[in-house]
Amino acid sequence: MYRSGRFVADHVEPTTDDQLQPNGVDLTLGAVFEQSGAGRIGRDGTTIGDRRTVRAETIDAGDGTEADGRDVYRLSPGGYVVRYGETVAIPADHVGFIYPRSSLLRNSCMLDTAVWDAGYEGKGEGLLEVHHGIELEAGARIAQLVLADADHEGTYDGSYQGENV
């Protein structure tokens, strides 16, 4: 059974009322990276390839509109690693799933994610596939976390525990 958005919000910090959805909590864009070196996934471990930080540009239209002073990522087609702006703590008796917001899909973008195991805590990441150029504002809602009850043994104790916090 999937949990309510209010329940999910108790396991995500920080959140605003705008992020609360009936069945989950929206996660925001915290940072964007491009992989610049080869990684390796072996039977005895994983090495993450080098990354470079994609810098946001500050909008300054000079017209006093609401957009002035906001940071925007202008992304060309390609693959990017995005870090969410919130710290998530998956409860011991649950499993987490991240889904892209439909506004990404409607703009020819896809967010690929993995299962978030019970006990995981951190600021996770996903793979943003950009198929047509897009501007993403820093702090924009790009994904939704949902939690489901899960029957399992043990909790996550891997190398990504506490990542990016």
Unique residue bearing structure tokens 């009850």: 149
Task: Tell which CATH architecture fits domain 5-38+68-149.
Answer: Distorted Sandwich (2.70)
CA distance 83 to 81: 7
Q: Is the peptide bond before 77 cis (omega within 30 degrees of 0)?
A: no
Residue-level pLDDT at 63: 61
What is the DSSP secondary structure assignment for residue 158, as one 8-state letter? Answer: S
Residue 65 has pLDDT above 70, yes or no: no
What is the average per-residue pLDDT within 118-144? 97
Unique residue bearing structure tokens 């029957």: 151
CA distance 3 to 1: 6
Banded pLDDT at 141 (limits 50, 70, 90): very high
Torsion of CA 27, 3, 92, 32, to 10 degrees: -10
Give per-residue pLDDT as tens, 144-153: 999 999 988 8
Sort 138 into a burial class: Cβ within 10 Å, 0-12 / 13-18 / 19+. middle
Q: For the chain, what is the mean pLDDT?
A: 93
Closest listed residue to residue 5, CA positions, set 141, 147, 153: 147
Sort 97 into a burial class: Cβ within 10 Å, 0-12 / 13-18 / 19+. middle
Tell me if 147 sits within 8 A of 24, measured CB to CB: yes
- What are the sequence ranges of the domains in the chain? 5-38+68-149
